[in-house]
Amino acid sequence: MFSKSLLSFFGTIALLSSVANTAPSPVADVDWDAHQWMAPGPDDFRSPCPGLNALANHGFLPRDGRGLNASVVLDAALTVYNVQPEVLSLAVKLALLTSNDPSTFTLDDIKLHNTIESDASLSREDFAIGDNVHFNETIFSTLANSNPGFGFYDTTSAGQVQQIRLADSEARNPNITNTQKEIFFRSGASALYLGVMGDPETGKAPKEFVQVLFREERLPIAEGWHRSETPINSANQLSLTQLIIAASNWTSSGGCPVFTLTPSGLHF
């Protein structure tokens, strides 16, 4: 079944990197007051990623969204979210493919379709049929309204949300890309909102925190959020990702995984 090949394709990458990083990187103290949320200005770049946009809106990444490299992004993710570098190393390497510069990228670059950016997102429209960069409340309403009757989201609700979002994209987007690559990346992003806004071991995250991250691209400090004390690492992220995939009842829409390799669209 798909889970076996998923494990051999992406699981190996994640497992190898977790083996290579057994001791968690220490997290520095943060002067949160020195990092107030500010809306981006008209010339500032933002991305399809609520996690990175929030880092820029709080000045943990350059507020203009430019000149990013692997180390500034990995440092900011560790400092603010306690996400261990091993979790994001594949993402930052892929991000460099989206840029014309060999060692830096912008928050605008990473919207490049089918490098990291994919269809059936949780809060953005599909590339072929709309705006794949900016938050869209209609799209987000599936996640916002999930797990009714409870105050938190979890891996089961996250999987159900992905199933509904994928069905919507399959119904409306004739250009949909939905392969093993996408199910792994999309479920990894779901695991990140659960782990970063909630508990990376149980995968439960307060709804209010998740909604503030998506809707305002703001850290919900005023609402009581604090950085996870448990390091968010490859082991707990892979475990949440697999539970989410199982709960999403996923099937491929056909075709092989595609990686867009350059901003001009070279791919295979």
Ligand X SMILES: *[C@@H]1O[C@H](CO)[C@@H](O)[C@H](O)[C@H]1NC(C)=O
Verify binding: residue 122, ligand HEM, rule CB under 6 A: yes
- C-beta separation of 114 from 259 below 8 A: yes
CA angle 175, 180, 185 (to 5 degrees): 90
Give the three-state DSSP class for 252. coil
Verify binding: residue 109, ligand X, rule CB under 6 A: no
Verify binding: residue 131, ligand X, rule CB under 6 A: yes
Nearer to ligand HEM, 6 or 210 (CB): 210
Q: What is the widest separation between alpha-carbon atoms in the chain?
A: 49
Verify binding: residue 40, ligand X, rule CB under 6 A: no
Nearer to ligand X, 8 or 103 (CB): 103
Nearer to ligand X, 138 or 264 (CB): 138
CA–CA distances in Å: residue 40 to residues 77, 89, 101: 19, 26, 23
Verify binding: residue 198, ligand HEM, rule CB under 6 A: no
CA–CA distances in Å: residue 53 to residues 50, 108, 268: 5, 11, 29
- Residue 88 interface partner, choices ligand X, ligand HEM, none, CB cut-off 5-8 Å depending on type: ligand HEM
- Out of 8, 26, 33, 103, which residue is the one contacting ligand X (CB under 6 A)? 103
- Out of 166, 196, 219, 247, which residue is the one contacting ligand HEM (CB under 6 A)? 196
- Residue 175 interface partner, choices ligand X, ligand HEM, none, CB cut-off 5-8 Å depending on type: ligand X
The distance of closest approach from Cβ of residue 132 to ligand X in the complex, given in angstroms and rounded to an integer, is 10
The distance of closest approach from Cβ of residue 243 to ligand X in the complex, given in angstroms and rounded to an integer, is 15
Quickly tell me which residue has 């209609």 as its tokens: 138
Verify binding: residue 141, ligand X, rule CB under 6 A: no
User: DSSP assignment of 84-150, as one string?
Assistant: -HHHHHHHHHHHHHTSSSSS-B-TTGGG-BTTTB-SS-SSS--GGGS-SSS--HHHHHHHHT-STTS
- Out of 51, 65, 159, 206, which residue is the one contacting ligand HEM (CB under 6 A)? 51
Nearer to ligand HEM, 8 or 124 (CB): 124
- C-beta separation of 205 from 232 below 8 A: no
CA–CA distances in Å: residue 153 to residues 51, 118, 264, 266: 17, 22, 38, 38
Pairing verdict, β 205-206 and 152-153: antiparallel
Nearer to ligand HEM, 118 or 260 (CB): 118
Spell out, one character per residue from 242 to 261, where the chain touches ligand X: x when CB under 6 A holds, - when not. -------x-x----------
